[in-house]
Amino acid sequence: MNDSPLRVGTWLSVGSPVVAELAAECGFDWVLLDLEHGCDSEAVLPSQLRALRGFETRSIVRVAGLNPDLIGRVLDWGAQGIMVPHVNTVHDAFQVLRAAQYPPKGRRGYSSTVRAYGYGLRPPGEHPAAPMVIAQIESLEGVEHAYEIAAVAGIDALFVGPSDLKFDLKAHHSARTYDECLQKVATAALDHKKPCGILVRTAEDIAKVKALGYTWLAIDSDLALLRDGFVRNVAAAKL
């Protein structure tokens, strides 16, 4: 059994600060601001982060990949954590940490005047707090190395990307099933006393992944909720 507390979040892809603020008002523990498959550029991110200010909702930004410059900017703008897609090996995990952490552990550039430190009014001191770093497991290779990735100090959680993982398993004609992969990632996280998470689309999926030990749950997305609501209303009106 996973002793990590349940953290309920949602996926924000539209890029709207209003939607981010609404999600926080509704009581989500965290939100994922998506720069990989989201609808807007990184230019909208600071406004979304400002909309979350004053709430207990944690801001996690998914960058598009292992881009040290973008990771540094996202954290300077005040993101409380990052999620990096396609972390397939221990080497990938260490590269992520090098980008997210200051020397001597990493290579992130330092400035005391960025938004994360109140534009110079709240300097972090001699030892700035490390951001939360979530490694996304989205391939068979990532699943096979999940145990070693979870063991890396500084990787705070594993997070399954279900769409990419299912696609990768099918593309490689894998004998390992999707459910087996979910269990393997959960076991890797549990054995290293770290949370694991996943994006779920329906209420029926919640009980299943919770039973496996998943405690960071992203439930649906702003884009999907808008789409489904629009389709439902149009269909109802045209009956």
Which residue, chain included where needed, has tokens 């349940």?
6
Domain membership of residue 50 (yes or no) is yes
Could you report the per-residue pLDDT of 109-155, keeping only the tens digit for each?
999 999 999 999 998 988 888 999 999 999 999 999 999 999 999 99
Sequence-separated contacts (24+) of 107-111 with Cβ below 8 Å: 107/68, 108/68, 108/71, 108/72, 108/75, 109/72, 111/76
Domain membership of residue 1 (yes or no) is no
What average pLDDT is seen over the chain? 95
Number of domains in the chain: 1
Could you report the per-residue pLDDT of 151-202, keeping only the tens digit for each?
999 999 999 999 999 999 999 999 999 999 999 999 999 999 999 999 998 8
Domain membership of residue 2 (yes or no) is no
Residue 147's pLDDT is what? Answer: 98
Distance CA 39, CA 121 (A): 33
Residue 128's pLDDT is what? Answer: 87
Helix (H) / strand (E) containing 185 = helix 178-191
Cβ neighbour number for residue 103 with a 10 Å cutoff: 10
Q: Which residues contact 79 (CB under 8 A, 6 or more apart)?
A: 33, 45, 49, 59, 60, 61, 131
14: CATH: 3.20.20.60
Residue 32's pLDDT is what? Answer: 98
37 annotated active-site: yes
Domain membership of residue 152 (yes or no) is yes
Phi-psi region of 42 (alpha: psi -120 to 50; beta: other; left: phi over 0): alpha
Domain membership of residue 62 (yes or no) is yes
Residue 1's pLDDT is what? Answer: 57
Q: What does pTM read for this prediction?
A: 0.94
Residue 19 has pLDDT above 90, yes or no: yes
Distance CA 136, CA 69 (A): 19
Secondary structure tally for the chain: helices H, strands E: 10, 8
Which of 152, 154, 142, 216 shows the shortest CA–CA distance to 184? 142
Domain membership of residue 133 (yes or no) is yes
Domain membership of residue 190 (yes or no) is yes
Within 13 Å and on the Cβ side, how many CA atoms surround 195? 15
Domain membership of residue 175 (yes or no) is yes
Chain center to CA of 186: 16
Q: Which residue range(s) make up the domain with 172?
A: 7-120+128-237
